[in-house]
Amino acid sequence: MTTFFKSLQAANKFTFSLKKFRVLIIFIDSDILRVSQRKRYREEK
């Protein structure tokens, strides 16, 4: 029973870090998009 609980805890930690990582990737993606849009805007001007 305790080993099962421990593995469950480890899985929860893993999914939590995965979610944080995904959020980080989304933030980086939006930053890159913003920068590229700004560059394009300058080029059009």
**pTM value?**
0.52
pLDDT of residue 26: 93
Q: At 44, phi and psi to the nearest 5?
A: -70, -35
Question: Residue 22 has what pLDDT?
Answer: 94
Residue 37: per-residue pLDDT: 87
Of 40, 41, 37, the closest CA to residue 29 belongs to 37
What are the C-alpha distances in Å from 16 to residues 9, 11, 23? Answer: 11, 8, 11
Over residues 1-45, the pLDDT tens digits come to: 689 999 999 999 999 999 999 999 999 999 988 988 888 888 876
pLDDT of residue 38: 85
